[in-house]
Structure 1
């Protein structure tokens, strides 16, 4: 029962922290849709046996994209969750190119839970990019994003076959859809 309560509290926290945020794509979906998709994939990949990873998936963008602090997450959800969230957070003080390279470089060294969250996050991002890409991105930038995500996931391989298969499908289907769009 505690895990279910913790999950509901994390969902409520994430929804409130991201309340005014929308995805960058042309459909501008509520940001919480992304968080719930990532959490669902992690829950399915762990067969519901790792509530810490699922809760961290819900919260994975709170440090990066909201006013939430590490201490606030730790106080509300515990040190294990806060640690995974911190591992999956980009340092916004770095230039974008540095942040992207850092994700590639650190992926192989992430904790198993952080790898699950990162994999599910990349699947969700590629799916979204394929059906609702940012309107102002040219095809080359969309393809570049897919290739970067592929490089990050290369360092996450061996983590979870289910998520890796979902990523491979999203990668190949998404690139095909983007290329068909340009014809």
Structure 2
């Protein structure tokens, strides 16, 4: 399957799943597919700046990265539709709800670190995309913690994708404007 066909199949699947959950971008009426397509766009550009990058695989995982965490999609359903490796990548990017909140991110980063570098790239791209103007409902402490998490992501996934690491570093610096 070519990347364009995979992108179209995957974004339709993911959009339907997020619409079923009535998920929008935080504090907006914007459909969640905007976030997913932004993460995929980061991956598409990164692939042009990264040697030995499996764009087909990375595109699918990028567009699906929140389906297990935020929708009623199951691992088995992802495996049936997109294959075991894609489902495994999405699973690594999914926070474990059985853990205390303060352990979820590090647990996910540890699972990501055992995956292919494309999965590392997707986590970097996800945080790059999320380091836009923060939601109005976030107080300064939440914004500070979010930036600190971004720094942890950058440190833990160092060596995963130089292009996206540099982008994330820049976004972290730019995010300072939103802190009191």
TM over 0.5: same fold? yes
Quick one: which of 84, 96, 104 aligns to 1:91?
96
Q: Distance in 1 between matches of 2:74 and 2:7?
A: 19
Structure 2 equivalent of residue 174 of structure 1: 175
Q: 1:107 to 1:63 in 2, by over 3 A?
A: closer
Contact 2:117 2:160 in 1 (8 A): yes
Contact 1:103 1:152 in 2 (8 A): no
* 1:83, distance to aligned residue in structure 2 (A): 1.4
Q: Secondary structure at the match of 1:46?
A: helix
Unaligned runs of 5+ in 2: none
Structure 1 equivalent of residue 162 of structure 2: 161
* 1:115, distance to aligned residue in structure 2 (A): 0.3
Contact 2:128 2:171 in 1 (8 A): yes
* 1:107, distance to aligned residue in structure 2 (A): 5.0
Q: For each residue in 1:141-177, what CA deviation from the matched residue of structure 2 results, as whole angstroms up to 9, or x when unmatched?
A: 20111011211220111111211111011100011x1
Q: 1:51 to 1:104 in 2, by over 3 A?
A: closer
Structure 1 equivalent of residue 4 of structure 2: 4
Q: For each residue in 1:70-127, what CA deviation from the matched residue of structure 2 results, as whole angstroms up to 9, or x when unmatched?
A: 1111111112211111111111222221212323544544431210111101111112
The Cα RMSD (Å) is 1.8
Q: Distance in 2 between matches of 1:28 and 1:101?
A: 30
Unaligned runs of 5+ in 1: none
TM-score normalized by structure 2? 0.88
Q: 1:51 to 1:170 in 2, by over 3 A?
A: same
Count of aligned pairs between the two proteins: 174
Of the structure 1 ranges 28-37 and 142-151, higher mean CA displacement relative to structure 2 is found in 28-37
TM-score normalized by structure 1? 0.86
